[in-house]
């Protein structure tokens, strides 16, 4: 078959929408394996895009601009991921720290529909998730509303009951003036702190300065004492939260770990599950370091479900 097969494949997907290799093979009279090789070639050249979701073990191929048509394939997702897609499509933007650990993990499973955003606000960092078809401008506006909700309008004060006028000896009575309350004006005071939305692929966070950060300094001391090498380092919140990729010595050689370090008096189950999800995304075991101990629910979660996670508390024997 000549090179014109590319035009045939692209024309079919343009007219029928996103397709799997079996559909292309049936249309062109060939087996699905050969059709899959053709689709892979076209996606490698950027002519077609390839989905992360699978239909019968095969990805879905589509022409750029057909992203909205991928929704018809959500029936092939697991139930929890399908429900997450429907929730994100309805809400457009979700704030990660208001979601359950299960929902957070599910969002990582649907990259065709969910785009993570790092948002800096009042010297803190949060993660939001946006529906893949929502524009950056609309997303920014929605995030600003979530972080700076408008204050409710003040309710007018009720009119005070007017006392009954006392009878006077004169026939003519002076008119009684009724005071009319003046509603106080309330001004919405907006924070001067800018809201920064960081899209995927933008510059990483400041790595931190151990000279001015006691928590980072203690982490570096701990790594040095235990012959742990730092491969990557990110400062998510100065003096409070860091991410690392580390190489730890072992009897079988160096092992690579994802490390989440938090300066908190007590680490909650959400801290544990969030670190575990990040390790799963990187396909690395997890080392969670904290200045405080694990909360009861966090201990139960580690013992019951998160067997690939190791917790180390700083401050004791290092």
pTM for this model (two decimals) = 0.48
In whole angstroms, give the CA distance from residue 7 to residue 28.
12
Percent of the chain with pLDDT over 90: 45
Domain range list for the chain: 5-65, 79-148+192-198, 214-313
Top CATH class of 5-65 equals: mainly alpha
Provide mean pLDDT across the span 188-196: 44
Q: Give the pLDDT score at 182.
A: 35
Provide mean pLDDT across the span 248-263: 92
Percent of the chain with pLDDT over 70: 79
Give domain 214-313's CATH architecture. Answer: 3-Layer(aba) Sandwich (3.40)
Reported as a single tens digit per residue, the pLDDT across 13-39 is: 999 999 999 999 999 888 888 888 889
Provide mean pLDDT across the span 160-170: 62
Reported as a single tens digit per residue, the pLDDT across 151-161 is: 666 676 666 66
Could you tell me if 287 and 257 are in contact, meaning their C-beta atoms sit under 8 angstroms apart? yes
């Amino acid at each position: 078959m000549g090179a014109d097969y590319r035009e045939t494949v692209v024309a079919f997907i343009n007219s029928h929408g996103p397709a799997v290799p079996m559909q292309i093979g049936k249309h062109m009279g060939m087996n699905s394996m050969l059709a899959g090789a053709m689709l892979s070639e076209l996606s490698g050249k950027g002519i077609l895009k390839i989905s992360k979701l699978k239909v019968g073990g095969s990805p879905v191929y589509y022409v750029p601009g057909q992203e909205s048509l991928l929704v018809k394939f959500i029936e092939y997702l697991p139930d929890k991921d399908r429900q997450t897609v429907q929730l994100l499509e309805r809400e457009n933007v979700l704030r990660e720290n208001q979601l359950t650990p299960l929902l957070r993990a599910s969002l990582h499973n649907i990259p065709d529909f969910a785009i993570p955003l790092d948002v800096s606000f009042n010297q803190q960092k949060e993660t939001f998730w946006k529906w893949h078809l929502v524009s950056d401008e609309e997303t920014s506006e929605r995030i600003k509303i979530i972080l700076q909700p408008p204050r409710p309008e003040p309710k007018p004060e009720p009119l005070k009951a007017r006392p009954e006028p006392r009878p006077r000896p004169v026939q003519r009575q002076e008119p009684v003036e009724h005071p009319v309350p003046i509603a106080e004006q309330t001004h919405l005071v907006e924070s001067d702190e800018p809201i920064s939305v960081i899209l995927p692929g933008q510059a990483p966070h400041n790595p931190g300065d151990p000279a001015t950060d006691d928590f980072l300094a203690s982490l570096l001391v701990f790594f040095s004492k235990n012959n742990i090498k730092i491969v990557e380092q990110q400062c998510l919140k100065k003096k409070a939260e860091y991410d690392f990729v580390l190489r730890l010595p072992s009897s079988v050689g160096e092992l690579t770990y994802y490390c989440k370090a938090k300066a908190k008096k007590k680490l909650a189950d959400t801290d544990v599950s969030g670190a575990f999800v990040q390790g799963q995304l990187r396909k690395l075991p997890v080392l969670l370091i904290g200045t405080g101990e694990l909360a009861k629910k966090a201990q139960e979660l580690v013992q019951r479900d998160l067997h690939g996670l190791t917790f180390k508390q700083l401050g004791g024997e290092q």
